[in-house]
Structure 1
Amino acid sequence: MPDRNQAALDFLLTRRSRPAKTLRAPVPDRAALEQILTAAARTPDHGKLEPWRFIVLEKQALTRLAQAIPARAAALNIDPDTLPKAVSQYADADLAVAVVESPVASAKIPAIEQTYSAGAVCLSLLNAALAAGWGANWLSGWASHDRTFVTENLGLAAHERIAGLIHIGTETNAPPERPRPDLAQKTTWVAE
């Protein structure tokens, strides 16, 4: 039998994202966040291309992004009833890390594998924050997928896109457990 890391397995079997709207200050300081980012960067990455990068969004930057959303929503004819939720994702946050998919030209590594690597970074970042004792949540939303918004407000290059926004903070309200997938419905066993 292989050596077992029971603490890590227990964490993965019980991990639970925390709703972003329940996360408040204090947030990790720079040293604590750098450790979380270091853990997140240890993700599967075929070809060692590192097809992603981080943008750390502190309170003032999040406030600026929240203020930019109404004008962009109007330009896109976004339903005004959805605006408060889009704005609050940024306005109510104290810290978020944008994981940017930044593909690297490669004759050997397909673009889809680079997308998967960026998604793996999001999950690793989320889990690292939770394992470090913080509340964390992986969000996106229309603004993070809008080319004009991310170019003008986050400086993304034309080939880049947001894989996820990982909100990190102090949990103010523990969420209840939610139903989990029925593995019998989701698993096929192939023996031959």
Structure 2
Amino acid sequence: MEAIELLLNRVSCGKLVEPAPSKEQRQIMYRAALRAADHGNLQPWRFLEIEGEGREQLGQLYEHAALLENPDLNDAQRDKYRRMPLRAPLVLAAIARNIDHPKVPPVEQVIATGAAVQNLINAAFAQGIGAYWRTGPMAFNKDVHEGLGMEEGETLVGFVYLGTPAIPLKPAPKADTDAFFMAWP
């Protein structure tokens, strides 16, 4: 796929099934992620691969964290939390590390990690792999962060769900660039 065609047509896919991306496909996505714009070349990111039984463990972590916030969850609500990571065969937790640097504040490091995620999902799309960048309450939950082994100063920028698209992808909507780009002053 040509680069400009990819950038103008990439869409997310929330309905994902097996198989997960192959080792070779992952390497392409991961190498693309590492080419993200990164002030100071800090590479202020790390990614956790969660698949197989790890997805079930993540679901149990979600359920546990949700129960700590609301002990009155019913069985259906608890089951929903357990099943969340099962929506794709591979889930990546994208984590921004806070590297102490005199010229690169933490916010730039979080943005750089977001750029790495965007490069990764662009590379997934280029290979026909479905991708969906998710956040939601569990991405901001301190108990989930602890369960993932996150350290002080790290920020979870989201979960990237990856797999084979289960449905045809919708065409990318046409963007009205004039609504977002304007001359100044």
Q: Residue 75 of structure 1: CA displacement? A: 1.0
Q: Which of these residues, 111, 118, 140, is aligned with residue 123 of structure 1?
A: 118
Q: Which of these residues, 69, 82, 101, is aligned with residue 76 of structure 1?
A: 69
Alignment partner of 1:187 is 2:181: yes
Q: Which of these residues, 158, 163, 166, is aligned with residue 164 of structure 1?
A: 158
Distance 2:172 2:84 in 1: 22
Q: Which of these residues, 47, 53, 61, is aligned with residue 46 of structure 2?
A: 53
Q: For 1:112, what is the secondary structure of its paired residue?
A: helix
Q: For 1:98, what is the secondary structure of its paired residue?
A: strand
Q: Which amino acid aligns with 2:110?
A: T
Distance 2:46 2:63 in 1: 27
Write out per-residue CA displacement over residues 124-177 of structure 1, whole angstroms, 9 at most, x where no aligned residue. 11111111211111111211211121212x111121121121111001102434
Q: Which of these residues, 9, 22, 30, is aligned with residue 29 of structure 1?
A: 22
Q: Residue 178 of structure 1: CA displacement? A: 6.0
Distance 1:54 1:85 in 2: 24
Q: CA RMSD in A?
A: 2.2
Distance 2:128 2:65 in 1: 35
Q: For 2:2, what is the secondary structure of its paired residue?
A: helix
Distance 2:44 2:32 in 1: 16
Distance 2:45 2:53 in 1: 24
Q: Residue 12 of structure 1: CA displacement? A: 0.9
Q: For 2:61, what is the secondary structure of its paired residue?
A: helix
Which has the larger displacement, 111-120 or 71-80? 71-80
Distance 1:146 1:73 in 2: 9
The alignment's TM-score, normalised by the length of structure 2, stands at 0.88
* Structure 1 stretches lacking a partner, 5+ long: 1-5
Q: For 2:36, what is the secondary structure of its paired residue?
A: coil
Instruction: State the partner residue of 1:103.
Output: 98
Distance 2:65 2:50 in 1: 19
Instruction: State the partner residue of 2:139.
Output: 144
Write out per-residue CA displacement over residues 21-64 of structure 1, whole angstroms, 9 at most, x where no aligned residue. x1010111223212210111100000011111111111211111
1:170-181 to 2 correspondences below 5 Å: 170-177=164-171, 179-181=173-175
Amino-acid identity (%): 29
Distance 2:22 2:29 in 1: 11
* Structure 2 stretches lacking a partner, 5+ long: none
From the superposition, tell whether residues 79 and 181 of structure 1 become closer, same or farther in structure 2 (CA, over 3 Å). farther
Aligned length: 183
Q: For 1:103, what is the secondary structure of its paired residue?
A: coil
Q: For 1:28, what is the secondary structure of its paired residue?
A: coil
